[in-house]
Structure 1
């Protein structure tokens, strides 16, 4: 049906929230245990014949403010969540629930601020300045720390025939971030090598409504998904983390004060951005890339190794930013992994006004104040955009002119890959750094090895990777 101007008339969003409380609990059980998250959303799309639907999302009662959302589950409707002229982002970083501010020093940190709030621009500018001031440290710091990681992989393979990448990555990424961002190794602080464990515990206290630990649901439901874990149980760990950042991030905090931020509030924001956004992101990102590349097989490994080694050789044997920019296949592989396995799968926004939201085929009316929800893998695996291979890893998908046109549909950073983060939007301030780190992982890997194999499983936040073999490079600078 069309209106007088030739465009489609908006219709009501299909779907049902069911009975209060009971239906939301039933849907939560489907989401976590009976169907799993992918099937949960796919089945609702199929049931209602629409990629824009009304559904309940976890955690539901009694933790969520309101589990009822309008879900946008295709590549065309999803970007409404990025438009801050249409949706409000206040206190919606984790969606229908918000962790206690006791976990962040009593402050609402930047991720929970709407761009209309004055502190948002100040904090984001502080983070941009921090990243810019340390740009020359990222490549050498990464190579130093991850060279040691792969040396440990080799030792473990020699001893037992297997190597747990996730465990090594958890420790290595924490050290790398402290070194790259501040030039201060966390292991040299008072908490020594316990930093990753403290960080992981603090992360769990915020994310537990959205995860499962593999325990029987009769235990997990009341423990993780019904009530908030008490913040005081993690306060000692958080204080130790805060003390490290207060000392290590002196330059960033000095800059924050010049921007008009309170030093204490700035430090809590630096801690959150570094541990939650960056460290938790690398815990998901790097195993996710390895898992996808491992599954792509030896022929694809050979193509990556050839490109990486030739480009590094042309750069005089050095890994430079200019050399990385020339590695088209390597960049494509990272983008493809981010498309399939975004570190943050869920986005949220509350309609600022009555809206019309377009899917590929229809237009839907949404009322002011309604919560919009996006499950990113549905949007970034949209067959209307990515064709018959939408759910598959195609390493060279973004190579060439035609491939580059698809980058606008890569949404992992809370924005299009073709757009840039700024103080007035909610796109990840470390967007470019994430892609850089992903490329560096592949460079380090294929300078060192011709190919590798790994067992792939499911971890707490993403893929779990266990190396089973790694064939040393037979050519290039790392060849024996």
Structure 2
């Protein structure tokens, strides 16, 4: 293990006031927003302020700032030791803080505050989360075949496009394949086969997603265009109302069995449907849009020896299972799982976490203890926590595919926080940890399985998109002969 973060466990840390400054009201918040999005970028924005104040717990402004944000002022937690307080719902309130210092209009979710915006103390939190657990449990046997069917077609298309065009836009193909896979896996109905959506589902979903996250996102447009368009005032919900109605119509029909379960749990059918839509489209689809291209992006830049090791491990496990991709076979793929965890560590799909202090608190970093007042907004920038050199050593900022292989590697999993909780813990109705945590890791592994059952290696151009430029087919497509 390169680092453990355990050395200071019994050390009495000095007490310090939280350093940092919010600056001049309004003006500083706008200036900081420009640094965050354009002049420095996210990583440098937080790293520079931690360096300036000599602390990984620091006061600063976070976007979106004036007009949209309730209050841009936060106490930022930028190390692996202080960050986990954001998961402790006995210490922090999670009501309406999913997107942080602003909250999108509930007009985007049928007029309801959906699960992500509920605190566990609210009655509907446990009901909605139990609904998600029930859905995932009831459809567990559909995940592997649905994934292989949809992503098998994706890679067929990749090969055809490479032959005809010399390259294939994996990111674009993944948007469609992920949306189809989720609908089939969760509800047994592909969105493209529904009259409500047809082939337009991914575009409608992406547009609806943008309306909710645009104040804290960048599309890579020039600052002079993007600032007034996305970061100054909220985009009007009525501009996506028709898209949302089409999505809701699909879910109302496709998720009928899950909605029956919701009613047995005491949830009104309409409210449950809005929650299922949000969890499926925002959480699952939004996550897979980032995670799966992210895995290929990291692998494309990795040493090709990692490709060889993955192919060998995957093919042996599948061959040992009689040529079938089973859950038991997947559990034997230690390196494969490590690669997925490492991608989630280095590039977490959700970078920001928030929570409002329920009472006066003492928060510890590696070096000091800080007093936090009741009501203060705590903010965590996850990449700073999951790339903490005090835990992961000198390679903390690098992608190391086998980081979590072996007993020592697995000890580091408690510092992998992508799911709104440590990877070593399981979600429950009483916490805010992602209900689909295990599914996400499973899907990441299935992508690698599908890739390396077909190919020995691949090449890709990586940037805003992952464009596959070449594949080397495996000598045999029959895993039982691997």
- Above 0.5 in TM-score? yes
Aligned mates of 2:459, 2:13 — CA distance in 1: 51
Cα deviations by residue, 1:409-457 (Å, 9 ceiling, x for unpaired): 0000000000000000000000000000000000000000000010000
C-alpha separation between the residues in 1 aligned to 2:94 and 2:338?
30
1:40 match: secondary structure? helix
Mapped to 1, the partners of 2:260 and 2:120 lie a distance apart of 23
Give how far 1:10 is off.
2.7
Q: How does 1:86-235 map to 2 (within 5 A)?
A: 86-190=91-195, 191-235=197-241
What residue in structure 2 maps to residue 268 of structure 1? 274
Residue pair 1:351, 1:371 contacting (<8 A) in 2 also: yes
Provide, for residues 234-283 of structure 1, a one-character-per-residue CA deviation record: whole Å limited to 9, x for no partner.
Answer: 00000000000000001110000000001000000000000000001100
Q: Which residue of 10, 24, 39 corresponds with 2:29? A: 24
Q: Render the CA deviation track for 1:355-389: whole Å, top value 9, x for unaligned.
A: 00000010000000000000000000000000010
Tell me which of 63, 80, 88 is aligned to 1:83. Answer: 88
Tell me how many residue pairs correspond in the alignment: 471
Preserved CA contact (<8 Å) 2:360 2:371:
yes
| Aligned match of 1:241 | 247
Structure 2 residue 477 is matched with structure 1 residue 471 = no
Q: Deviations over 1:72-94 (max 9, x none)?
A: 00000000000000000000000
Which residue does the alignment assign to 2:324? 318
Partner of residue 455, structure 1: 461
Shift, 1:8, TM fit: 3.1
When normalised by structure 1's length, the TM-score is 0.97
- Per-residue Cα deviation, 1:121-172 (whole angstroms, up to 9, x for no partner): 0000000000000000000000000000000000000011110001100011
CA distance in 2, matches of 1:359, 1:476: 51
CA distance in structure 2 between the aligned counterparts of 1:147 and 1:163, rounded to whole angstroms = 15
The SS at the match of 2:140 is coil
Over 4 Å off, 4+ runs: none
For structure 1, list consecutive stretches of 5 or more residues without a partner in the other structure: 459-463
Distance 1:219 1:392 in 2: 33
Aligned to 2:354: 348
Q: Which residue in the other structure is 1:255 paired with?
A: 261
Shift of 1:289: 0.7
Question: Are residues 1:39 and 2:40 paired?
Answer: no
Question: What displacement does 1:227 show?
Answer: 0.3
**2:6 alignment counterpart:** none
Tell me what 1:358 maps to: 364
Q: 2:373 matched to which residue of 1?
A: 367
Distance 2:220 2:424 in 1: 37
* Alpha carbons 1:309, 1:476 under 8 Å: kept: no
Q: Measure how far apart 1:6 and its partner are.
A: 7.6
Return the TM-score normalized by structure 2: 0.96
**What is the aligned partner in structure 2 of residue 461 from structure 1?**
none
Secondary structure of the residue that 1:149 maps to in structure 2? Answer: helix
SS at match of 1:137: helix
Residue number among 428, 432, 435 corresponding to 2:441 in the alignment: 435
User: Could you tell me whether the CA contact under 8 Å between 2:342 and 2:399 is conserved in 1?
Assistant: yes
Partners of 2:104 and 2:49 lie apart in 1 by 28
CA distance in 1: counterparts of 2:222 and 2:173, whole angstroms: 28
Which residue of 60, 66, 70 corresponds with 2:71?
66
Contact 1:338 1:412 in 2 (8 A): yes
Counterpart in 2 of 1:415? Answer: 421
- 1:9 Cα deviation after fit: 4.6
Q: In structure 1, how many angstroms separate the alpha carbons of the residues matched to 2:477 and 2:411?
A: 33
Give yes or no for the alignment of 1:283 onto 2:284.
Answer: no
Give the distance between the partners of 1:332 and 1:106, measured in 2 at CA. 40
State the superposition RMSD in angstroms: 1.2
How far is 1:475 from its partner?
4.2
CA contact (8 A) 1:351 1:369 kept: yes
SS at match of 2:141: coil
- Report the Cα distance in structure 2 between the residues aligned to 1:7 and 1:281, rounded to whole angstroms: 40
- The 1:450–1:374 alpha-carbon spacing in structure 2 relative to 1, beyond 3 Å, is same
Shift of 1:213: 1.6
Deviation at 1:476?
Answer: 5.5
Maintained 8 Å contact 1:288/1:341? yes
1:302 matches 2:308 = yes
Q: What is the CA–CA distance in structure 2 between the aligned matches of 1:337 and 1:11, rounded to whole Å?
A: 34
Q: Out of 402, 406, 410, which is 2:412 matched to?
A: 406
SS in 1 for 2:461: strand
Counterpart contact for 2:65–2:72, Cα < 8 Å: yes
Query: How many Å separate the matches in 1 of 2:125 and 2:286?
Result: 21
1:318-348 deviation line (CA, Å, top 9, x unaligned):
0000000010000000000000011100000
Instruction: State the alpha-carbon separation in 1 of the partners of residues 95 and 478 from structure 2.
Output: 50
